[in-house]
């Protein structure tokens, strides 16, 4: 990545971290994927139960594999025949790993979900939430963050999951009511009532969609 862009993101992160902390969320800065992985693992005591919500960013920094291989109780939704039971077990986990579809420069987080297991776990359930956010997800304000989530993240994820939605075919949001839509639930996280629950690791890299 161009060093000028990296520097700009580094400077922007100062405001962003202040914004997250003002919203009762813990904020961390990582210059690389490797540093982000070390930071995340440092937050999770051995023996903890851990689950995740299909977070590509967590996969890209190696966190999912590290949790699988480490001394943790990984609640793997893919290993369950009963998907509802997997989600219910996940709600009682010590840690929930996720990414964000978009985040504003002052620390408001935006996520869109189809089945709502991810957004509901961010809002309530697991004791702690670790959010991995590449700086490509940062937007100037809430309006642009919503547009990014709907017009960038959602179409690409619909394509990734092989869904038959207008956005998967065109790359742009049609505000559809397709049976395959993944834009069923919108979560705007502007404040965490419980201090120490949500931990956001900002990474000076492009991660996820």
Label residue 61 by pLDDT band (50, 70, 90).
very high
Would you state the pLDDT for residue 77? 85
Q: What is the DSSP string of 17-85?
A: HHHHHHTT-EEEEESSHHHHHHHHHHHS-TT-EEEES--HHHHHTTHHHHHHHSSSEE--GGG-SSHHH
How many CA atoms within 13 Å lie on the side-chain side of 169? Answer: 8
> Would you say residue 60 has pLDDT above 90?
yes
Q: Average pLDDT for residues 124-133, to the nearest whole number?
A: 97
pTM: 0.95
Cα–Cα distance, 10 to 31 (Å, whole number) = 8
Q: For 63-100, how does the pLDDT look when each residue is reduced to its tens digit (9 = 90+)? A: 999 999 999 999 998 888 888 898 889 999 999 999 99
Label residue 148 by pLDDT band (50, 70, 90).
very high
List, in order of start, the domains of the chain with CATH numbers: 3-138+187-203 (3.40.50.10420)
Label residue 53 by pLDDT band (50, 70, 90).
confident
> Would you say residue 54 has pLDDT above 80?
no
Q: Average pLDDT for residues 111-132, to the nearest whole number?
A: 95
> Would you say residue 143 has pLDDT above 90?
yes
> Would you say residue 134 has pLDDT above 90?
yes
Contact between 93 and 118 under an 8 Å Cβ cutoff? The reply is no
Would you state the pLDDT for residue 23? 98
DSSP classification of residue 135: G
Would you state the pLDDT for residue 130? 98
């Amino acid at each position: 990545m161009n060093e000028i862009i990296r520097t700009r993101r580094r400077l922007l992160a100062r405001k962003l971290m202040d914004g997250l902390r003002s919203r009762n969320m813990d904020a961390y800065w990582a210059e690389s994927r490797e540093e982000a992985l070390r930071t995340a693992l440092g937050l999770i005591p051995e023996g903890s139960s851990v689950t995740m919500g299909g977070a590509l960013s967590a996969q890209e920094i190696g966190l999912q594999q590290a949790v699988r291989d480490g001394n943790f109780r990984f609640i793997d939704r893919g290993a369950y025949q009963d998907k509802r039971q997997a989600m219910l077990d996940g709600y009682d986990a010590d840690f929930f790993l996720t990414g964000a579809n978009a985040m504003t420069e002052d620390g408001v987080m935006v996520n869109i979900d189809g089945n709502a297991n991810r957004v509901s776990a961010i809002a309530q359930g697991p004791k702690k939430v670790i959010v991995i956010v590449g700086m490509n997800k940062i937007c100037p304000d809430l309006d642009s963050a919503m547009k990014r989530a709907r017009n960038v993240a959602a179409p690409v994820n619909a394509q990734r999951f092989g869904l038959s939605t207008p956005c998967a075919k065109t790359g742009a949001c049609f505000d559809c009511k397709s049976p395959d839509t993944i834009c069923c639930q919108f979560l705007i996280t502007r404040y965490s009532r419980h201090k120490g629950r949500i931990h956001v690791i900002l990474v000076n890299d492009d991660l996820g969609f």
